Amino acid sequence: MSIARRTARTAVAAGLVATALLATPTAAQAAYGTIGERETVCAQSLYVRTSPGGAWMGTLYYGQTFLVEGPRSSGYIYGFAYGHINRHGWVQDGWFC
């Protein structure tokens, strides 16, 4: 098989893999929370904490929601965790759909 044909075949395969990865929601597609918005959790699980990096007080799971109220601090965002937690707390920012 010629080098040009082998290179073309490799490029097509790489393109198919890239397309498949883009079609599947991943952590790389997760977004930062918008203050004032009730955001949906895209992470498999997201710890709710008492302060940025503080004590754990519950876990939000994929599909549950969090009302982003701000402020941001050290990669965390403050807001209200709905569902079984129903409390204000901090979550790591960047894990919303």
- pLDDT tens digits, 19-69: 333 333 444 456 899 999 999 999 999 999 999 999 999 999 999 999 999
d(CA 36, CA 48): 18
Return the CA Rg of the chain: 19
* Residue 97, token pair as written in the block: 């759909």
pTM of the predicted model as reported, rounded to 2 decimal places: 0.69
Residues in the chain: 97
